[in-house]
Amino acid sequence: MPATCPCRVLDEQKLSYAQCCQPFHLGRTQKTVLPQTAEALMRSRYSAFVQLLPQYLLETWHESTRPEELELDEDLVWTGLEVVKARAGGAGANRGVVEFIAHYGRGANAGSQREVSTFVRQDGAWYYVDAL
Ligand SMILES: [Zn+2]
């Protein structure tokens, strides 16, 4: 059985990476396969942190808040994602807000980060804007 997608480890629905975030990671540059909701984009960005894909994170970061470059902390191991609440951000929306908890480990320590992120859709593609 293929491995569960990083963003689905805590879900009952154990979609594989190929069924979940990988098509977004592979299709972003050509914009061939795009997440249709803010939550799907957020999941794909979480998975990109897990898979160490800084380029995907930059490409899905809105230009108004995007850093020049992004260095990922390779000592941090992301262990699971819980989506607490998604507001708007559906297939017909242009703005969305997603509240989530990301779990991680660093060495012997474990922790979690709770965040409320905002997203906008521009020319059909969702972008991460900032955290409230
Ligand atoms: Zn996923």
Cut 0.85: pTM above it: yes
pLDDT of residue 32: 77
Q: What residues pair up with 85 in beta bridges, in sequence order?
A: 99
Centre of ligand 1 to C-alpha 33, Å, is 14
Centre of ligand 1 to C-alpha 82, Å, is 12
pLDDT in tens, 9-54: 999 989 999 999 999 999 877 777 899 999 999 999 999 999 999 9
**Assigned CATH topology for domain 6-131:** Nuclear Transport Factor 2; Chain: A, (3.10.450)
Say which amino acid occupies 107. G
**Burial class of residue 43 (count of CB atoms within 10 Å of its CB; 0-12, 13-18, 19+):** buried
pLDDT of residue 1: 66
Cα 92 off chain centre by: 19
Answer whether 63's CB lies under 8 Å from 54's CB. Answer: no
Q: What is the domain partition of the chain in residue ranges? A: 6-131
**∠ CA 65-70-73, rounded to 5°:** 130
Centre of ligand 1 to C-alpha 53, Å, is 14
Centre of ligand 1 to C-alpha 58, Å, is 18
Centre of ligand 1 to C-alpha 39, Å, is 10
Residue in 84, 15, 69 with CA at minimum distance from that of residue 44: 15
Distance CA 27, CA 14 (A): 22
